[in-house]
Structure 1
Amino acid sequence: MIAALGVYRAEPVALVLLGVALLAFLVVGTRLSVIDWRTHRLPDRLVLPSYPAAILLLGGAAAVAGEWHRMVGVLAGGAVLWTGFAILHVLNRRGLGFGDVKLAGLLGLYLGFVGWGALWWGPFFGVVLGGLWSMALIVTRRAGLRSSIAFGPFLIAGAALALAVLR
C-alpha cells in the first residue's frame, strides 16, 4: 500500500484519503495491539467502527483514482479473511478468539486494497511472527506449550509488514 501512495500523487484527494486510511490503521492497530497484549481482548468498540471507516476511506481513494477494482479487493479481502479465521475459530475455540476473527476481517479490508498477494502474506507474516515469539518464550522458559499469547499484535504487525513491502 505504501507503493500506492506514489501512484496516487497525481490524485491529491485520493492521496489524502489513502493517507488518512493508513493513519487510521496505525492508530487503531497500535491501540488494539497494546490492549490485546495486556488483556487478551480486542474490544468491539474499536474494531467494529473501523470497518466502515476503512471501507469509506479506501473505497473513496480507489473511486477518486478510478481504480474500482481495488474496491472489490477491499470487500472481498475483508470477507475472505473474516470467513477463514471464523472457520479456524470454530475448529479450535481456545486457540483463536472471535476478536481475532473480527480483527482479521478488518485487516483483510486493507490487505485486499493492495491485492490477493497481500491477503495471503499479511496473515502468513503474522503467524510467523507469533510463532517466533512463542518459540522464544518457550526456549527462555517464560511460557509452556499450553500457554496462550495475544495473537492480535502479530496479526497487525504481519498486515503492516505486507502493506509496507507489497505492491
Structure 2
Amino acid sequence: MGGWAGAVTVLLTAAAVGLLPPLLRALPEPVTSSGGTGPGYRSLADGRTVLTHTLAAAVAVLVVLLAVPGALRPLWWPLLACGVAAAVVDARSTWIPRQLCWAGWALGVPAAAAALLLGTGRPQLLAAATGAVAAAALFWLAWRISRGGIGFADVRIAPLVGLAAGSLGPLGWWWSLLLGTALGAVVALLRRTLGRPGPTPYAPALVAGPFLAALLAPLAG
C-alpha cells in the first residue's frame, strides 16, 4: 500500500516547481517596516528561479525517496513542497513569502493523516509534531533575543523543518537543526569574506538541515 506515497511525494514536489512562478506573479508586493517596497516577487518568476527550484527539488525528493522510510515520507511533504520553494525565493531575494509558509502549515494536516494511513505509529507522529512546535518555539526565541538577527520569516518556516526533522527521532531533530545552523554560519562567513553586502539568506541552510541529517543517519549507527 505504501507505494503510492513515493508517487505522491514526487508529484507534489513537481507541482510545487510548476506553481511557484504563477504564485510569485500573483503575490502582493510586501512593504518593509521603513515603508520601502519588497524584493519584486514578479521579477523572480523567471527561468533562473525555475531552474534553481527544479535542481533543488530533484535533489531533495531523491534524498527522501532513498533515506526516509515510506510511512514517514508524507511528513516531509510540507518541507518538499513549500520549504524548498521558500528557500529558493530566499536565496534569490532574502525574502520568504508568508503565503508559502501558511500553505506548508496547512499541508501538515493531510500529511499527518497520510502518515497514519501508511502505518506511522502515534509515538512517531507525536515526535514529528513535537519537533515542529519545538523548532518554531526555538526560532521564535532566537528572533526575540537577536532583535532582528534572524528574520521572522525563518520562524514561520521552522515548523516545516521541525516536522520533517522530528520524523527522524530526537537525535535526528537535533542533527537537522545543528547542521542547518552550521551551514548557515558557513555561508554567512563566506559572504563576509567575499565582501558581499546585505543580509544572508538563512532559509536554504535551514531547509537543507533535515535532508543532510537523513543522509548522515546511517553513519551515526
Range into which the TM-score falls when normalised by the shorter chain: 0.7 to 0.9
- Give the letter aligned to residue 95 of structure 1: G
**Whole-angstrom CA distance in 2 between matches of 1:23 and 1:79:** 17
Where in structure 1 are there 5+ consecutive unaligned residues?
9-13
- Deviations along 1:127-162, one digit per CA (max 9) or x if unpaired, are 11111112222223334xxx4201111101112212
- Give the letter aligned to residue 213 of structure 2: A
Q: Which moved more, 1:22-31 or 1:109-118?
A: 22-31
- Deviations along 1:8-54, one digit per CA (max 9) or x if unpaired, are 4xxxxx47xx2x55455334233111211222222121111212313
CA contact (8 A) 1:59 1:71 kept: no
- Deviations along 1:46-92, one digit per CA (max 9) or x if unpaired, are 11121231342244214531511111012111110101111111111
**Whole-angstrom CA distance in 2 between matches of 1:4 and 1:55:** 19
For 1:43, the equivalent position in structure 2 comes to 97
Is 1:95 aligned to 2:146, yes or no? no
CA contact (8 A) 1:81 1:104 kept: yes
Pair 1:55–1:165, CA change in 2 (3 A) = farther
CA contact (8 A) 2:127 2:166 kept: yes
**Whole-angstrom CA distance in 1 between matches of 2:68 and 2:84:** 22
**Whole-angstrom CA distance in 2 between matches of 1:49 and 1:27:** 9
For 2:126, the equivalent position in structure 1 comes to 72
Return the structure number with greater relative CO, CA threshold 8 A, min gap 6.
Answer: 1
Aligned residues: 154
Name the larger-Rg structure: 2
CA contact (8 A) 1:62 1:70 kept: no
* TM alignment of 1:56-67, pairs within 5 A: 56-67=110-121
Is 1:162 aligned to 2:213, yes or no? yes
- Give the letter aligned to residue 137 of structure 1: R
**Whole-angstrom CA distance in 2 between matches of 1:82 and 1:61:** 21
For 2:36, the equivalent position in structure 1 comes to none
Pair 1:140–1:101, CA change in 2 (3 A) = same
CA RMSD of aligned residues (A): 2.3
- Give the letter aligned to residue 150 of structure 1: P
Where in structure 2 are there 5+ consecutive unaligned residues?
1-63
> Normalized against structure 1, the TM-score is what?
0.79
**Whole-angstrom CA distance in 2 between matches of 1:115 and 1:126:** 16
- Give the letter aligned to residue 185 of structure 2: G
Is 1:142 aligned to 2:174, yes or no? no
Is 1:86 aligned to 2:129, yes or no? no
> Normalized against structure 2, the TM-score is what?
0.62
